[in-house]
Amino acid sequence: MLFALEYSLIVSYEEGVLESIFGQEYLDYKRATPRWIPRRPAQPEMGAHDWREAWVSEISTFMQYGALVIVFAVKQRLR
């Protein structure tokens, strides 16, 4: 539940930022792209994709979940 709530808030914020930067171009993209469950595009995407940048942008989120797992494990151990 925590994951779903946090990511819903993050996605809403990021969509607002992208809409303010790219305007109608982003709205068209958003309408054609599924939000949660990816699917293969009808036409291959053109342009470069920076997977390293994508990974780096998510590291803090992964670290938060890692910290939560550790907290829950410690709590379970102390029971």
pLDDT of residue 32: 85
Average pLDDT, the chain: 88
pLDDT of residue 43: 77
How many angstroms separate the CA atoms of 25 and 31, rounded?
10
Going by pLDDT thresholds of 50, 70 and 90, the confidence category of residue 18 is very high
Mean pLDDT of 20-25: 96
Spell out the domain ranges in the chain. Answer: 2-38+52-78
Nearby residues of 41 by Cβ (< 8 Å), 6 or more positions away? none
User: Is 1 or 19 the better-scoring residue by pLDDT?
Assistant: 19
Q: For the chain, where are the E strands, in sequence order?
A: none
